[in-house]
Amino acid sequence: MKKIVLVGNVACGKTTLCQRLNGLKLQYEKTQALNVVNCTIDTPGEYLEHRSLMRGLTVVSADTDYVVFVQDASRDLYLYSPGQAAAFPVPVIGVVSKADIATEKQIAQAKELLELTGADPIFVLSSYTGDGVQALIDYLQDDIEEKA
Ligand SMILES: Nc1nc2c(ncn2[C@@H]2O[C@H](COP(=O)(O)OP(=O)(O)OP(=O)(O)O)[C@@H](O)[C@H]2O)c(=O)[nH]1
Ligand SMILES: [Mg+2]
């Protein structure tokens, strides 16, 4: 499994995705600090929301294979900037989260926003139902060479 760091605003679903990816019980717990679970680094949403903390994400990402931008499809709150993926030293992939409670239009909007950041590829999933999660797991298990 590739090493990833989850990035996204407060309550976008990073910890729940981390739990799902690692086969843990899904339970709400506010992330207060960087939390390493096997190959997944979970971060508090404040790291993205407060510009002064953003640099911390860049530093942490240097030791990973991928940054994962998580965008909550159910909320019209967009905190990423166009081209933001280029600020990281490793490739950025995107996750549209909470697809189970979002409309098709919201999902399309979230996907488009992540595309603008430069994240590629983008996975649409629900950590609650598990829909779409296996595609992400499969991607993270591939060798980088196989994707070229
Ligand atoms: N319906 C639905 N709710 C979800 C899903 N994933 C997470 N949630 C809910 O969204 C809320 C926030 O989820 P978290 O995973 O804690 O969010 P987070 O991004 O880790 O938030 P911070 O730790 O504050 O940065 C919780 O109430 C979750 O149960 C999902 O796939 N579907
Ligand atoms: Mg969290």
In order, the DSSP letters of the chain are ---EEEE-STTSSHHHHHHHHTT---------S-EEETTEEE--THHHHSHHHHHHHHHHHTTSSEEEEEEETTS------TTGGGGSSS-EEEEEE-GGGS-HHHHHHHHHHHHHHT--SEEE--TTT-TTHHHHHHHHHS-HHHH-
> How many angstroms does the Cα of residue 6 sit away from the middle of ligand 2?
9
pTM: 0.96
Nearest-CA residue for ligand 1 atom 27 is 28
Per-residue pLDDT tens, the chain, 148 aa: give them: 999 999 999 999 999 999 999 999 999 999 999 999 999 999 999 999 998 999 999 999 999 999 999 999 999 999 999 999 999 999 999 999 999 999 999 999 999 999 999 999 999 999 999 999 999 999 999 655 555 5
Query: Using CA atoms, how far apart are residues 120 and 100, in angstroms rounded to an integer?
Result: 22
Which ligand 1 atom is the nearest neighbour of the CA of 126?
31
> How many angstroms does the Cα of residue 46 sit away from the middle of ligand 2?
10
Nearest-CA residue for ligand 1 atom 15 is 13
pLDDT for position 143 = 59
The response to whether residue 25 sits with its C-beta less than 6 Å from ligand 1 reads no
